[in-house]
Amino acid sequence: MSQLDIQAHVNQCVDAIPPTPPRKPPPFNPLNSTASSSKVLKPLSALQPFNTPSRDVKSETKDSVDSPGVFSVLMSSHKENEAWKEAAMAEDRNFRATKANGGRRKAPFYKVMQGMPIAVDAFRYGAIPGVTAYFLTHAHSDHYTNLSGSWKNGPIYCSEGTANLIVHMLGVDRKWVHALPMDVSAVIPNTGGVSVTLIEANHCPGSCLFLFEGVQTVNAGDSAYTSPFVGSKRTFRYLHCGDFRASPQHAMHPAVHGKKLDHVYLDTTYLDPKYCFPPQPQVISACAELAKRLVLGESLAAEGSKNSRVDNFFATRGKSKGKETSKAGMTLVIVGTYSIGKERVVKAIAKALQTKVYSDPRKAAILRCEADSELDAMLTSNPLEAGVHLLPLGTIASDRLKLYLEKWKGHFTKVIGFRPTGWTFTQASGSDTQPSIPSVIAKSQAKSFTWANINPMRASTTNMQLFGVPYSEHSSFFELTCFALSVDWGRMIATVNVGSEASRGKMAKWVEKWEAEKKKRGKVEVVPHRSPDYW
């Protein structure tokens, strides 16, 4: 797969403006606040009765199908290839709605849970035939495409944080939005008894994985290829990962550990061995420590730094150290963020510097939707009171930061810019592009990441330091590998970079290698990890 394919998915998340925002964005009112609405949204009870969905869309198999084996490939290779061709047509960028095509895009098969009237992150396809429940993994624009205040195609299920965000940002009518609790199994109405458990995705605030459990009752969706298990008594278990940063905690979650997952819908953004970036917690700690050292004027010389730009920055910073100590905040730290995301880096830096965080009113309103009390306490509407400012990720460039620093002339004299993205990381030339699974794990776990590993970008000067940081909110190749070896699954379905047969083929080869390694290991056990938060 090309870097452009992967970057397209990542970039769609970056500070995207909702396609059809309300003319006057409403003030933030959390959905779990009794003051926010006369009809407060509440999580569904795990014991809530369900209604059997309408079955007039596609005929269902009346006889129970107990063979072939449930964990065999559910589609023949030919049918699967045809289904992917359908999906590619559905995702055609040149698609235009006409009477001939029904006025809507057809939903790819991987957007609708097989045999269930449930669609995930599929709002761009309008009213999908047979679907009675629409799920949203998180509030990034490429996942809620076409969702707006005019939505009326069915109930939307998501986490509380995501519910707050789509009501605030998109003006979605509250009557459609149902916030579900985390880590609790809940039966979804009108799905034939399917239950869902929300699991923290470790991606952005409000993001979650969905674990669906239930029998197959209907061939919903647009795909011509149907399941032979509709009408059987077998219980199927699907894990939809949305976008996630895989960690041992996912594999050890009570709803996942020791359970057989029929399908795993996998975030394959970085399913390529050249993307084995450092653990997120280590990167967060490194950013906070580096920011603290820069602002306090501690030289890197003692650590053997050979970078003159950093040393010059420290030298000039040190000359005015006494003056700046008496006037806090003379060095401004700017963190590039998405509309939603990178909050962990922001909080860690603000904590290390013991300072407030400033963002423009639009961004601040979004942050307050996230229901993060720790972050709320850090926010200020006064830019001069904050030593950390938030800007869109794309503005962390020398020319733009120079202009931004000019705005605060007389208060801030230096600026440190952090650009946290997985695209900062590149493997050394000559790296093995087809490593063995054991070597992927061994090499990645042998490495660590500290502030000394963060080097300034070329455009840095004596009063402006820019740092590209290998911080990603998507799983690295190494983490995907560990996750695949740590859970028991029957079929892995890619959801990103699936637009070309070549890309799908490359990813399929790695899935085959995971399968082979699992068989070699025998019993499925969580890959040994350095911390519950990372492998």
- Measured in whole angstroms, how far is the alpha carbon of residue 291 from the centre of its chain? 26
Query: Among candidates 529, 317, 329, 368, which has minimal Cα distance to 441?
Result: 529
pLDDT for residue 225: 87
Ranges of the chain with pLDDT below 70: 1-78, 90, 93-94, 97-102, 299-329, 423-431
Residue type for position 158: C
Q: Domains of the chain by range and CATH? A: 77-91+101-274+477-521 (3.60.15.10), 280-469 (3.40.50.12650)
pLDDT for residue 458: 87
pLDDT for residue 371: 85
pLDDT for residue 156: 99
Strand segments, DSSP code E, in 271-393 are 331-337, 356-358, 379-380, 386-392
What does the alpha-carbon distance between residue 125 and residue 243 come to, in Å, rounded to a whole number? 19
What does the alpha-carbon distance between residue 177 and residue 160 come to, in Å, rounded to a whole number? 10
Residues whose CB falls within 8 Å of the CB of residue 11, separated by 6 or more in sequence, listed in order: none
Take residue 392 and report the two structure tokens written for it. Answer: 């869109």
Pairing of strands 464-469, 414-420: parallel
DSSP state of 509: H
Residue with tokens 């009108």: 190
- DSSP conformation letters of 36-99: T-SS---PPPTT----PPP--SSPPP-S----S-TTS-SS-HHHHHHHHHHHHHHT-TT----T
Q: For residues 80 and 493, is the Cβ–Cβ distance under 8 A?
A: no
What number of other Cβ atoms are within 10 A of residue 54's Cβ? 11
1-49: pLDDT as tens digits: 555 555 556 655 544 444 444 434 444 455 543 333 323 334 443 333 3
Residues in the chain: 535
pTM for the model stands at 0.84
pLDDT for residue 83: 82
What does the alpha-carbon distance between residue 518 and residue 32 come to, in Å, rounded to a whole number? 43
Interior angle at CA 64, CA 60 and CA 66, nearest 5: 125
pLDDT for residue 444: 95
pLDDT for residue 313: 52
pLDDT for residue 110: 96
Take residue 363 and report the two structure tokens written for it. Answer: 């961004």
- Angle at which helices 437-445 and 501-521 cross, to 10°: 80
243-281: pLDDT as tens digits: 999 999 999 999 999 999 999 999 999 999 989 899 999
Q: For residues 115 and 216, is the Cβ–Cβ distance under 8 A?
A: yes
pLDDT for residue 79: 76
pLDDT for residue 12: 55
pLDDT for residue 37: 33
